[in-house]
Structures are given as structure tokens and as C-alpha cells.
């Protein structure tokens, strides 16, 4: 997969992201997580662990690990915001 092909990139991101989200929801339900706050906390924590595991090799390979981590997290935050944009604009 070439990440510079927007169509392939978005298809991968959407399909894989949805699969991971569904797994997280199922796991949280199986653990008996019930309130919105608990579900949100559990899903957010699990997502952070997944993200840290994905970013770890790049951070370990960087000459300045702290800067690399900060930059990669910033990129991920921008992407998350972009993915939320349809939800944000739909509410207006």
C-alpha cells in the first residue's frame, strides 16, 4: 500500500479503524463497562495504548525521541480532528 494514494489510504484507515473500534466496543461490553463515561474512558485508554504501540518503532529509531513522539502525536491529533470534521459540521 502506498500512503500517497489517498483513496487506498482512506479505505485502509476507514475499514481497519472500524474493525478496531468494533473490537474495542465488544471488549468493553464483555467487561461490563456500562456508563458512557466508563465506555469513553476505556475506549480512549485502549486507543492510546494502540497508538503508542504503532508509534513506538518510529520513536525508538529517532535521534531525538521526545521530539519525534511530539511530532507524531501532533500528526495523529490533526488526523483525528479531520476525521471528526463531518460530525462537527453536521451538528451546525
**What digits encode the pLDDT tens for the residues 11-68?**
998 999 999 999 988 888 888 877 888 888 888 999 999 999 999 999 999 999 999 9
What are the extents of the domains in the chain?
6-90
* Per-residue pLDDT band at 91 (split at 50, 70, 90): low
Q: Which among 66, 65, 70, 22 is positioned nearest to 46, based on CA atoms?
A: 22
For helices 36-61 and 6-30, the axis angle rounded to 10 degrees is: 130
pTM for this prediction: 0.78
Amino acid at each position: 500500500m502506498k500512503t500517497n494514494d489517498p483513496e487506498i489510504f482512506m479505505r485502509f484507515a476507514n475499514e481497519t479503524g472500524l474493525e478496531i473500534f468494533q473490537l474495542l466496543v465488544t471488549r468493553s461490553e464483555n467487561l461490563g463497562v456500562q456508563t458512557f463515561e466508563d465506555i469513553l474512558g476505556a475506549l480512549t485508554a485502549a486507543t492510546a495504548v494502540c497508538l503508542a504501540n504503532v508509534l513506538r518503532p518510529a520513536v525508538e529509531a529517532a535521534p531525538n525521541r521526545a521530539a519525534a513522539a511530539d511530532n507524531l502525536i501532533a500528526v495523529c491529533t490533526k488526523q483525528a480532528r479531520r476525521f471528526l470534521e463531518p460530525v462537527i459540521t453536521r451538528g451546525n
